[in-house]
Structure 1
Amino acid sequence: MSYAEVNGLSLYFEEHGSGEPLVLLHGGIGAGEMFAPILPALAERRRVILVDLQGHGRTADVDRPLRPELMADDIVALIKHLGLARADMMGYSLGADVALRATVQHPHAVRRLVLVSTPFKRAGWHPEVVAAMDRMSAETAEAMKHSPIYELYSRLAPRPQDWPVLIGKIAELKKQDYDWSAEISSITAPALLVFGDADAVRPEHMMEFYGLLGGGLRDAGWDGAGRSIARLAVLPGATHYDILTAPGLAATVLPFLDS
């Protein structure tokens, strides 16, 4: 357990296991502890670097908005801080946005990329999810104190009184429109997309995302020679909210990282 001083931020991280480095990036209003269900399996074969993003978990907030582009720079700065030339990266939801932006902005720093349950544009979410994002505000922070995510935040945060600030910043972030489709084709790192079959991301968007990475555009052929380096996994019975506990997640991710 340690902190790295990067970009004016005291970024909290933990290391588990040994082997090729794998950076894990959690979802919004969460912390690295979200990966607890699969951390033991990953750490058996990897040097896992578990990070708390800006304003989340044990990383105190700073005076700047929450943006995947800025947090991506933080993570690449952490990789350099650890003396690594590059690392594999796995992100969930907001953390997947950060991992995607890190790969686009710093392609030399990411060897393999795993994106769990996130779209590449805001319209990729189901409409009711977008509507819920639009209803979020700093004023909803008080009501959210009855949720498990607040218990996690209040237990870990250096300044638990910043809870309304985090919710306000997340609400502002989630109201931002974005579309990264033009940049997806620049990704050269092998990428694995993972979704649940009952995800908050629309199924047709999953396929569009996979296609932008070069996947599913042609028959692979009897010898597999036409197969893309991108991979797509849809886990049965999983939603956006429980996919990190899905039994098949670690078993899907590890072979891809090792291949």
Structure 2
Amino acid sequence: MGYADVGSRLWYESHGSGRPLVLLHGAVGAAETFAPLLPALTAWHRVIGVDLPGHGHTADTGRPLRYESMADDVAALLRHLDLPGADLLGYSLGGGVALRVAIQHPGLVRRLVVVSAPCRRGGWYPEVLAAMAGHDERTAERMRGSPPHRLYTRLAPRPEDWPRLWARSGELLRHDYDWSAEVARLTVPTLLVFADADSVPTSHVAEFFGLLGGGHRDAGGNGSRPASRLAVLPGLTHHDILGSPALPAVVLPFLDHPVPGPG
């Protein structure tokens, strides 16, 4: 584990051995938030966790946070580590970054797993969008002592930058985007994973899966289906899905078994 200078100076950590699987965390998180999944994932894979710009061990770069630029940073890290054809799993904000890596650098991604992230900003529930709109330095002060703040102060090179991270995250989350057309052109096999009580409504989940070719017709007797997959995990929310053993239980078969194309 350590830093890689790839334009940005990114922190990454590596666990286990086997086919590489890169994990991208959620907003104001860090690679460490995937710890509950590591025993299951490292049994079969070399798992590389990345702290995105301004998060965890990775210092603030001074530039605005954008999905597209963070995706370029992750792609540069994959090249630096000589990991062409890696699998990517991103959660929430990291799901958006992972999706952008597959869109912007398709040759670097073998399979993609998007967990609890929409493909357009309007895919979040309205109350979630309203909460995102309130992320600024003033509300950062009210978050002191919260689990994300405690994580940041323990890992960050400059713990005093907490208000800046919270505000930069808010500015990113207020920024409109719609990647529907680009998602519809993706060819990388993709697994979408959502909780049944997620911050993303099931109507958008169905829309997202439809863009990947799913849900348009009956599979028929020969099981004809798209290369991409959908899993909705019961009894979970956006906030506890990472701690559930149900997540690796659906991710590992997708990563480790052949994905047939349409029949």
TM-score (norm 2): 0.96
Could you tell me whether the CA contact under 8 Å between 1:52 and 1:58 is conserved in 2?
Answer: yes
1:44-78 deviations in whole A, cap 9, x for unaligned?
10011110000000001112110110010111111
Corresponding residue number in structure 2 for 1:87: 86
Superposition pairs of residues 24-173 of structure 1, within 5 angstroms: 24-173=23-172
How far, CA to CA, are the matches of 2:104 and 2:159 in structure 1?
Answer: 32
Match of 1:233 in 2: 231
Counterpart AA for 1:96: G
Whether the 8 Å CA contact 1:216–1:228 is kept in 2: the answer is no
Q: Which amino acid aligns with 2:2?
A: S
Q: Which amino acid aligns with 1:31?
A: A
CA distance in 2, matches of 1:69, 1:220: 35
Q: After superposition, what is the alpha-carbon deviation per residue over 1:84-117, rounded to whole angstroms, capped at 9, x for unaligned?
A: 2220000000000000000000000000000000
Poorly superposed stretches of 4+, deviation over 2 Å: none
Q: Distance in 2 between the 1:177 and 1:194 partners?
A: 23
For structure 1, which runs of at least 5 residues remain unmatched after alignment?
Answer: none
Distance (whole Å) between structure 2 residues aligned to residue 151 and residue 228 of structure 1: 42
Which letter does structure 1 place at the counterpart of 2:233?
L
> Partners in 1 of 2:171 and 2:28 — Cα distance?
13
Deviations 1:130-149 (A, max 9, x none): 11111221111111012111
Distance 1:85 1:162 in 2: 34
Residue identity in the other structure for 1:241: H
**Match of 2:40, SS?**
helix
Partner AA of 2:36 in structure 1: P
- Aligned-partner Cα distance in 1 for 2:249–2:55: 28
Q: Taking structure 1 as the reference length, what is the TM-score of the superposition?
A: 0.98
Q: Which amino acid aligns with 1:163?
A: W
Partner residue of 2:243?
245
Identity of aligned residues (%): 61
CA RMSD of aligned residues (A): 0.7
Aligned residue for 2:63, secondary structure, equals: coil
Residue aligning to 2:253: 255
Shift of 1:217: 1.0
Mapped contact 1:55–1:61 kept (Cα < 8 A) = yes
